[in-house]
Every structure is written in structure tokens, then in C-alpha cells.
Amino acid sequence: MLGGKNILLGITGGIAAYKTTFLVRLLIKAGANVKVILTDSASSFVSPLTLATLSKNPVLSTFINEDEGATDWNNHVELGLWADMMLIAPATANTLSKMANGTCDNLLLASYLSAKCPVFFAPAMDLDMYQHPSSKSSFEKLRSFGNIMIPATSGELASGLHGEGRMAEPEDIVSFIKKYLSEGLPLSGKKVMITAGPTYEAIDPVRFIGNHASGLMGYELAKTAANLGAEVILVSGPTHIGLNHDLVEIKKVVSAEEMYDCAHAYYKHMNIVICAAAVADYRPKTVADQKIKKKDSDLSLELVKTKDILLSLGEDKQKQYLVGFALETENEMENAKAKLKKKNLDAIVLNSLNDKGAGFGHSTNKITFIDKNYAINSFELKSKAAVAEDIFAEILKRYYA
């Protein structure tokens, strides 16, 4: 959810500022780009050098930078426009009051007033300060501006008192933001399963039958579904591709049998299922326990059909919106429509190896989307990331119809 997001982190002068080193590290680990603004008093609690090292950006604190006689300035307007979101943590009573009343006496407050993005604030103060009417008034006023409050928790406070006012832990702050970002997205609260990649069918401990599928199309579909707010199960055959997304859980399999078992284990809980994997149609009837030695004579393998995963899911379909893929080389449209009907699908994605840049081994694909009513929408050659977006746009039109 935070991958590629620009986050402007404002740190004010409270003891909880020491936790921001962990917060910055978590945001960076989640894929965000982080810039930090410190108030003067905050630098007494946390080192600018530490934050600069963790964020990989200079830490800002003043409007004017003076370095060996050369003077330049930190543009608060550019900072506000750069940010996809702003987070103020810890947010002291003093800073919150200034934010609520439009006071602009430091770089952090000027950047806040310039921000066009969602602003999150995580209060941190002692028990009596947190409960004071003026603090509550600041909370209410800031929320009325559209700012999002990350509530403080209860615990031991710097004064020695025990109660409400402790800044939320860094892990909880990150989780709060991720949850907020996912709410209202088209697939928020939905569960999606994607199958991806090839399957390898063992001949012996060394050799296997496989195909040239990279898994890229399935992985892009999983990423797109997650970016739309879905909780995604990605059942992946062997591939070098990686995916790090908070809403994607990857289940690694090797053979068609393993993919069949894994897909069925999660199927009943799913809302949308897309079978994009290039599953082997046949496997060796017997698998040698030891490596088969090379002989002068020919080697014959007896093959048997694997279980048809897509067909079996179509037979068990209840509430699921089920989509298959058809990779064809001849009679493409007729074969795709026949597969759509036979396997009880809601839609099928047709791609042809006759189209240059489509199919296995490419970063691009050219598809035709066909739904169960035989409504057809064809697309030009695009990156597989863009194709994944097109596929989900077609699905969403019909899923919520």
C-alpha cells in the first residue's frame, strides 16, 4: 500500500520522538520515499544524522540553509506538493494547537499549511494534557479540516503516570495508514485468488517437464488487485519474480497437483479468481527415484493428464467470479469461447502466440476479454502491468453490475 508513496514526516519535540527512527525504517521497508522535518526541540530527542541515514534524505529543520557562505532555502510549498501524504508523529499539544489555529512559525507548520495531501497526526502528550479541553478542541478542529488522527494509546507516560496520551507504536501507525488507504477502494474487503507461472512435472530428481511461462502476467494481476484494496492469495508456480505487497500472500507450489490442492483450499473464501497460470496438461505417469542415466537407445515417457484446475473450479463455483486464460495458436476466438462455456467461466482472457509481443517470455501482452454473454473487448499491445489494469477494469464493470 505504501510502495512508491512520498511521505513527509514531521517530528515535534516530545519524548516519543525517539520512536521515529523505527517509524522511518518501517516506512522505508514498506517501499515509501520519506523526507523528514524536525522542529528545533525535536532534535533534542532524536538525531538528525540517524534520521537522514535511515530515510536516505537530508533532514530539514529551518527555512534557510547556510553552508560555507552559500545560502539557499527549503521550499515548504514544494515539500507540501511533493508529499502523497504527511504524517506528524509525535504531534505535541503545542504543534497541534498551532496547526488548528493556522500559526506558521517554523518549516514544519509552513509545510503543513502548504500540503495538498492527506495529513495524519499521532498525538503524544501526558495524561492531563491529552484530556484537557484545549487539546480536545485541537483534535476536533483538525479532524474538521479533513486531517486524520491516529489515536494515542494508554500506557506508562514520561511523567510516571499511567493513562491515555502515549503515541501509537510505529508498527500500529503504519498499519493504521495502510488500513485507511485501503478503505473505499473498489475491492476493499474482497478476496481475490490468482494462479501464476508454470508448473514443473518431475521426471526424476533432476529433470522435469515445464513450459516457458514467466509468471509475470499473474504477478501483475495480483499487484493490481491488491492496489484496488483486495486481499490477494497468489498461487505461484516456479518463477524468479518477486512481489512485496502487504495485501498479497504468496503460496509457492511446483506441480499441477500442488497448484490444484492449494487453489481448492482457498477457493470457497474467494470473491474473484483468475487462473493465469500455464499449468502442464500432462505429467509423467511414474517418477524415477534416481536420476535416469543416459543410454544409447531412445527414452520413452508415458504421460497422463493432470487435473484440470480451471474446470474443477468452474464445477465448484458458487459466488466466485471466475476468469480463465486461453493461449491459442489457431482458431483463437472459437477455442476461447468453447473453453469459456465448457469450464463454466464468467470471462476468459484470450491471447494468441500469433500476435507479436504476446504470450510467454515478453513484458507485454495483447488480449481480448470475452465475458459469459460473449461480449468482446479487444486491446492493443501493452505492458503486462497495463494489461492487468485493463482486465480488472473489465471485471469490475461486471462484478458490480
The gap between the terminal CA atoms of the chain, to the nearest Å, is: 27
pLDDT at 67: 62
Whether 373 sits among the annotated catalytic residues: the reply is no
pLDDT at 158: 76
pLDDT at 71: 65
Report residues of the chain scoring pLDDT below 70.
66-71, 359
pLDDT at 143: 96
Residue 90: asked if its preceding bond is cis (omega within 30°), the reply is: yes
- In angstroms, the CA 18 to CA 266 distance is 42
pLDDT at 68: 55
Identify each DSSP E strand in 244-329 by its residue range.
248-252, 272-275, 282-284, 303-305, 321-328
**pLDDT tens for residues 187-226?**
999 999 999 999 999 999 999 999 989 999 999 999 999 9
In a 10 Å sphere around its CB, with 0-12 CB exposed, 13-18 middle and 19+ buried, how is residue 116 labelled? exposed
Strands 282-284 and 303-305: antiparallel
- Catalytic option among 211, 271, 335, 344: 211
pLDDT at 141: 96
Percent of the chain that is helix, strand, coil (3-state, to 5)? 35, 25, 40
**pLDDT tens for residues 136-194?**
999 999 999 999 999 999 887 777 778 788 899 999 999 999 888 888 899 999 999 99
H-assigned helices in 278-322 = 309-315
Q: Which domains does the chain have, with CATH numbers?
A: 6-182 (3.40.50.1950), 191-399 (3.40.50.10300)
pLDDT at 384: 94
